[in-house]
Amino acid sequence: MPASDAPPAAAIFGCAGPVLNAAERAFFARVRPLGFILFARNIETPDQVRALVAELRASVGRADAPVLIDQEGGRVQRLRPPHWRKAPPGAAFAALAGRDKAAALEAVRLNFRLIGRELADLGIDVDCAPVLDVPVPGAHDVIGDRAYGLDPAQVAELGRACCDGLLDEGVLPVVKHIPGHGRAMVDSHLALPVVEAGRAELEAADFPPFRALADQPWGMTAHVVYKAIDADRPATTSARVIGEVIRGLIGFQGFLVSDDLSMKALGGSFEDRTRAALDAGCDAVLHCNGEMAEMEAVAAAMTPLDGIAEERLARAAKMKRVPQALDVADVSARIDGMLA
């Protein structure tokens, strides 16, 4: 099989800056990752981002290589003023839902149409949103105002409106963090959260938003241990959580990517983390910080995208819709008016 026809590697990588350096270009050409993810360090101007996106895709010889970003709104948005709109956090829409559910659903969908249009204009086609986690009192603020409220049904409804808004603009949403990060008492960027709640409690409060949106194209795992399901491994590296809960009880059949392997919630070498996540059932691993030594270690352990993952990826791509006319200034004003 010619190399160009072979499946890409089951990994998504970041890069160090606003342009690719020679080492990155050679690395990506050699290991052929599935796709890429952008962060604030990669963002300067619209033209620069478009050029970087094109260069990333050219490095692997695939014009359809997914390019991801975290553009939720609020404190988690990589594209910021003055070139891009400052979008509200999830909590703003949750507050509106408490007053007017219909207005909140409309506002979320329109908000993410605007976000989706900005992303599509840059060539970015996957947004790591919505957050479907349901926080509990006393939980770490890593989720906090990113959430769409404390009621699982409301989180699901507003989360679907987010997905619809992105899909309207031809951008794929990523539901996160499956099967739920809302009970974490520590930030998984810095330490491993361990959830003590029983299975019944998780099934009643944490899993429902993900079950309601199990038809979405992409999902991202949580670096969280659920003692009632697998006391030894976080969801990302737990075959039991992925097989029994994410693919089973929740019924998610979309493309499943790990949360960032470089987060401190995970232990062991990057080779070990990569093998563990792929062996557990992640379709691809995500490595975000652009550190070449770490990326080389991930590459040493990653495998080609398997046939089932390729099918999930292709099915996800078909969910994109053809964008319709949108008056950006008018829609932005409508959102502001509803939230006021």
189 catalytic per annotation: yes
| Residue 69, beta-bridge partner list | 38, 127
DSSP symbol at 286 = E
- Dist CA 179 CA 9 (whole Å): 25
Reference 254, options 318, 335, 297, 188; nearest CA is 318
**Catalytic residue of the set 100, 189, 215, 306:** 189
What the block records as the tokens of 145 is 């105002």
- Dist CA 174 CA 71 (whole Å): 11
Phi, psi of 189 (to 5 degrees): -65, -25
In which element (H, E) is residue 72 found? Answer: strand 71-73
- Alpha-helix residue ranges (DSSP H) falling in the chain: 22-31, 46-60, 90-99, 101-122, 152-168, 199-205, 208-212, 239-240, 270-280, 292-301, 307-317, 328-339
- Provide the 10 A C-beta neighbour count for residue 148: 29
| Residues contacting residue 282 through CB under 8 Å, at least 6 positions apart | 10, 221, 236, 242, 256, 257, 258
Tell me whether residue 97 is exposed, middle or buried, using C-beta atoms within 10 angstroms of its C-beta: 0 to 12, 13 to 18, 19 or more. buried
**Catalytic residue of the set 70, 125, 127, 259:** 259
Buried-exposed string 169-181: b where 16+ CB fall within 10 A, e elsewhere: bbbbbbbbbbbbb
259 catalytic per annotation: yes
Residues present in the chain in total: 340
Q: Is the peptide bond before 137 cis (omega within 30 degrees of 0)?
A: no
Residues with catalytic roles: 189, 259
